[in-house]
Amino acid sequence: MNRIVNFSRMSDSSREDWLLVNSAVIEYDNNYSYRILEMFSRLRGVHFAHPVDMYQHGLQTATRALRDGADEEKVVVALLHDVGEVLCPENHAAMTAEWLRPYISEHNYWLVKYHGLFQGYYYLHHFNRDKNARDLHSDHPMYQATIDFCENWDQKAFDPNYDTLPLSEFEPMVHRLFANKPAMHAVLGI
């Protein structure tokens, strides 16, 4: 049987209780790659009127990144960049960035967080909005890399005829990325 803490109110907790909680958080975190892949699989059938669903879009984005020689972290980022669409399409980029943040570089975190704004370059003018809104970040070190991500992989990844690799090609990369990062010690910050 799993041990549980000896309190029902945090104000009655002990150090030993929080060490136990932290241990449980670490154990749960060890399965993060499986949970994020499950979340990604929920994009099946979510089309938003595109010719491919968001699941295929993620696979296609990752396939393009892989074929262009991107490093493994970037390929995983390309695969998962829209996983936040499952819960909140309007704020998907920021949600996805936060879910990935403990496991990816600050550069890739920034890229995921702002890719939605950068994608606006391709459509905002259709709504009388500034398609160059991304230029507010032109002094950021990831500005050009985010443009390149959108131009070369993301905005092109709605092609139903593209030779997209299956998820099985990317699963080992996802598991390695999340396994190679230290477990989050969210409770104690240690």
Taking only the tens place, the pLDDT of each residue in 76-129 is 999 999 999 999 989 999 999 999 999 999 999 999 999 999 999 999 999 999
Q: What pLDDT, on a 0 to 100 scale, did the predictor assign at position 14?
A: 94
Specify the pTM.
Answer: 0.90
Task: Give Cα separations from 189 to 14, 25, 183, 184 (angstroms).
Answer: 16, 11, 11, 8
The pLDDT score that the predictor gives to residue 1 is 41
Among the residues of 50-170, which ranges form H helices?
A: 54-67, 72-80, 92-100, 106-119, 143-149
> What CATH number has the domain spanning 14-179?
1.10.3210.10
29-52: average pLDDT:
94
Residue with the bigger pLDDT between 29 and 130: it is 130
pLDDT of residue 48: 94
Mean pLDDT of all residues belonging to the chain: 92
6 neighbors 17 (Cβ within 8 angstroms):
yes
pLDDT at 182 over 70: no
Pick the residue with more confidence: 159 or 31?
159
Q: Which of 44, 54, 41 is nearest to 170 (CA)?
A: 41
Determine contact, residues 78/70, Cβ cutoff 8 Å: yes
Give percent of the chain above pLDDT 90: 82
- Give the pLDDT confidence of 48-63 residue by residue, as tens digits: 999 999 999 999 999 9
Rounded mean pLDDT, 20-47: 90
